């Protein structure tokens, strides 16, 4: 069973849950910016709030917040370390 098919019982605010659901739709090997995720969930201009929701994500691989990057380029930070984020993205071919 692919990890994206796991049923998760994530606890968070409605905004966080919307962000986390959107992150699970980003396919391996692809990235989106925080602003793109914000727009996709109907909150354009909420890129920083998306970043905070990513930082609060309790399940790193099942909710792939490592696939979200800053619009300015690079990988940005990550709760589990920027080096690990870069390694995951490289492994996925992003």
User: Is 5 a domain residue?
Assistant: no
Global confidence as pTM? 0.87
Longest dimension (CA), the chain: 35
Number of domains in the chain: 1
Q: Which domain holds residue 37?
A: 11-92
Residue 45, SS3 per DSSP: coil
Q: Which residues of 45-73 are buried (b: 16+ CB within 10 A; e: fewer)?
A: ebbebbbebbeebeeeebbbbbbbbeeee
User: Is 53 a domain residue?
Assistant: yes
65 catalytically annotated? yes
State the catalytic residue, choosing from 23, 54, 65, 69.
Answer: 65
Q: For the purposes of burial, counting CB atoms within 10 Å of the CB of 43, is it exposed (0-12), middle (13-18) or buried (19 or more)? A: middle
Per-residue pLDDT of the chain (94 residues; tens, 9 = 90+): 455 566 766 788 999 999 999 999 999 999 999 999 999 999 999 999 999 999 998 887 888 999 999 999 988 888 889 999 999 999 998 6
């Amino acid at each position: 069973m692919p990890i994206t098919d796991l049923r998760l019982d994530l606890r968070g605010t409605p905004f966080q849950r919307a962000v986390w659901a959107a992150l699970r739709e980003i396919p391996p090997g692809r990235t989106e910016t925080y602003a793109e995720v914000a727009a996709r969930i109907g909150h354009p201009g909420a890129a920083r709030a998306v970043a905070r929701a990513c930082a609060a994500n309790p399940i790193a691989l099942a909710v792939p917040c490592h696939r979200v990057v800053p619009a300015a380029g690079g990988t940005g930070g990550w709760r589990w370390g920027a080096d690990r984020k870069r390694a995951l993205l490289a492994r996925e071919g992003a």
